[in-house]
């Protein structure tokens, strides 16, 4: 899926420290290990599984806030919202 909107910040991006915000459809889901894909972006939400309130389905549109240490590593989710 292609992005419908893009917002750029003037703040300096620091990998592994700067929060990023992504909105998109879940294209793949492995709920047992807390991993999902939004297109080609891998998202690790395993740290959120202990709260028990994460309900995600393939095809669902979600918003994710998190940090990514390097371009080839997953985005580590700090918050996920269903849209």
Task: Single out the residue of 63, 74, 62, 80 nearest to residue 16, CA to CA.
Answer: 74
Its pTM stands at 0.87
Q: According to the model, what pLDDT value does residue 62 have?
A: 95
Helix (H, G, I), strand (E, B) or coil at 50: helix
**DSSP assignment letter at 10:** S
Report yes or no: 37 and 27 within 8 Å, Cβ to Cβ.
yes
pLDDT digits (tens, 9 = 90+) for 54-63: 889 999 999 9
Is the pLDDT score of 1 beyond 90?
no
pLDDT digits (tens, 9 = 90+) for 20-41: 999 999 999 999 999 999 999 9
């Amino acid at each position: 899926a292609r992005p419908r909107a893009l917002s750029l910040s003037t703040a300096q991006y620091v990998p592994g420290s700067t929060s990023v915000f992504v909105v998109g459809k879940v294209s793949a889901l492995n709920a047992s290990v807390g991993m999902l894909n939004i297109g080609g972006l891998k998202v690790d939400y395993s740290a959120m599984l202990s709260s028990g309130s994460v309900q995600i389905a393939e095809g669902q549109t979600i918003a994710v806030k998190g940090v990514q240490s390097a371009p080839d590593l997953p985005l580590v989710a700090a918050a996920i919202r269903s849209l």
